[in-house]
Structure 1
Amino acid sequence: EGKIAGLYDLERTLGKGHFAVVKLARHVFTGQRVAVKVIDKSKLAGEAAGQLLQEVRCMKLVQHPNVVRLYEVIDTHAKLYLILELGDGGDMFDHIMRHEGGLTEAQAKHYFAQIVHAISYCHKLHVVHRDLKPENVVFFQEQGVVKLTDFGFSNRFQPGKMLTTSCGSLAYSAPEILLGDEYDAPAVDIWSLGVILYMLVCGQPPFQEANDSETLTMIMDCRYTIPPHVSAQCADLISRMLQRDPKQRASLEQIEGHPWLQGVDPSPASRCLLPLTSHKRVSQEEHEIILQAMTCGNIADRDTIQEALEADRYNHITATYFLLAERMLRE
């Protein structure tokens, strides 16, 4: 049980969900650390199985410096393993909880701009996340960036077409999802972005009462209070996202162009080279060294490696290639 097909050594558990456990693991050949989402297929009913395929499909589509990288998919009879980039700094929820009363606005801007950048990219590819919350934003301290993870509720959408599935967590869910209405996909992510920004600067969720029914009422009435330490510009941006009517919510372009976010670098991650989203970003010399190491290590022959890279596979060959390349870049 401690190994996946001899390719990864599984270590401690990092988190648990309904169908899945996330474990820390080590890629045996390169020694690189990764996160592994282990999904128990026996627990998946028809709808959940379909959603899992969506998660994998959306993660393959969304390759962005502020999105956790999917390296490899290993499908066995009983389990499905998603091999993911490992964050070294915990999640944003823990980070917020360590700062009573919220982060400074300068810090909040730095992180929020990156999350907006990632979501903007997802929406351009017609992928809606639907479970945006601080627990699903991971810190990468070595790279100095935050990245979006857990596409377990994500889906493709067609602009102008409504979705119906209700999902996500109560405190972060838009009113239209909680009402069980049809909804415009991008607008539900915008609402959740409003909740995240509020949490970043206030240190707690905007809608969180003693019990769920009270919380629900607050969300439906869009009732929340902004503490006096929050600047007028920041409060204005929050209010533009936390609009009861989805049509009144700010678009991503409006959020990116809002005065509060001006002068912030939305993508410090694109300047650091990790994770590598394409083999084309590796120099010819490095490419040769990696091919050499992989052929000597009996991972595969040169042609097979080249073919797997060209075809954008998510198998052990491409995972080993990218983990080796990233190790070289780190060194």
Structure 2
Amino acid sequence: MSLKRYEGKIAGSYDLEETIGKGHFAVVKLARHVYSGEKVAVKVIDKTKLDDVSKAHLFQEVGCMKLVQHPNVVRLYEVIDTPSKLYLIMELGDGGDMYDFISRHDHGLEEETARRYFRQIVHAINYCHQLHVVHRDLKLENVVIFEKLGIVKLTDFGFSNKFIPGRKLETSCGSLAYSAPEILLGDSYDAPAAPPTFIHSIKVLT
């Protein structure tokens, strides 16, 4: 839906606060619902800077996030569309991302904690694959910590896509340091089978 945006607010419903993340065409801001006071994360996407490929990724991201409803995937509450911006209203974690969380522990995480979080990530990925959704940008920075709840959630589906079992994907995307070898080589790849190196990053940092 197209809604009027007021200065410092989105449709008069959310007060925008500080920026908590940045990307090429988007920023993530902390926001608060003006009536309930609930804090949320708002991904603000500048549509005027998007080319056709980026617009396609944006539609894929929204579609995949609407489809994937799982306790270990960040929930998309609402999508607000304006002529120049798209706002994705999402639930907010209280512990930052996994990279920062692990970095705050000088001696790494306790084995039981690392095992519990690792299990939750695998459950989220497996659920996505059951729905024929592949994330394609799995990394520590895209895992959000909900510290009070003792859980982690997968976020940022900007490179996600639907796949057909048995058919390989061609698009080389994601974060270079975490990409599978076949993606780095520019080969076609079996989406669910391409192993991200972020798995090894968790093992090293913990």
| Residue aligning to 1:120 | 126
The amino acid of 1:49's aligned partner reads K
Counterpart amino acid of 1:203?
L
Q: Which residue of 1 aligns with 2:205?
A: 203
Q: Cα deviation per residue 1:176-230 (whole Å; 9 max; x = unaligned)?
A: 0011111100012xx12xx3343223218xxxxxxxxxxxxxxxxxxxxxxxxxx
Distance in 1, Cα, partners of 2:36 & 2:101: 30
Take 1:44 and 1:197, find their aligned partners in 2: how far apart are those partners?
A: 31
Amino acid across the alignment from 1:201: K
Which portions of structure 1, spanning 4 or more consecutive aligned residues, are displaced by more than 6 angstroms?
none
* Residue in structure 2 matching 1:17, options 15, 23, 37: 23
Secondary structure (helix, strand or coil) at the match of 1:132 reads: coil
**Structure 2: how far apart are the matches of 1:99 and 1:154?**
30
Deviation at 1:101, TM superposition (A): 5.6
Is the 8 Å Cα contact of residues 101 and 201 (structure 1) preserved in structure 2? Answer: no
Give the TM-score taking structure 2 as reference length: 0.93
Q: Which amino acid aligns with 1:199?
A: S
SS at match of 1:147: strand
1:146 alignment partner in structure 2: 152
- Distance between the aligned counterparts of 1:30 and 1:105, measured in 2? 38
1:83 corresponds in structure 2 to: 89
Deviation at 1:97, TM superposition (A): 1.7
- TM-score with structure 1 setting the length: 0.59
Would the alpha carbon gap of residues 65 and 45 (structure 1) be closer, same or farther in structure 2, given more than 3 Å must change?
same
Q: Which has the higher helix share?
A: 1
Look up the SS of the partner of 1:30 in the other structure.
coil
Q: Which runs of 5+ in 2 are unaligned?
A: 1-6
Which residue matches 1:70? Answer: 76
Larger radius of gyration: 1
For residue 163 of structure 1, give the secondary structure of its aligned residue in structure 2: coil
| Count of aligned positions | 200
Identical-residue share of aligned pairs (%)? 71
Structure 1 gap segments, 5+ residues each: 205-331
- Please show how residues 171-210 of structure 1 align to structure 2 within 5 Å: 171-188=177-194, 191-192=195-196, 195-203=197-205
Q: Return the offset for 1:107.
A: 1.8
Pairing partner for 2:48 from 38, 42, 47: 42
Within 2, Cα distance between the matches of 1:90 and 1:122? 22
Distance 2:205 2:107 in 1: 5
| Structure 1 CA distance for aligned equivalents of residues 37 and 110 of structure 2 | 37
Indicate the RMSD between aligned Cα atoms, in angstroms: 1.2
Tell me how far 1:47 sits from its aligned partner: 0.6
Determine which structure has the larger strand proportion and give its number.
2
Distance in structure 2 (CA, Å) of the matches to 1:102 and 1:164: 37
Tell me if structure 2 keeps the 8 A contact 1:55–1:155.
Answer: yes
Equivalent-residue separation in structure 2 for 1:147 and 1:15 (angstroms): 16
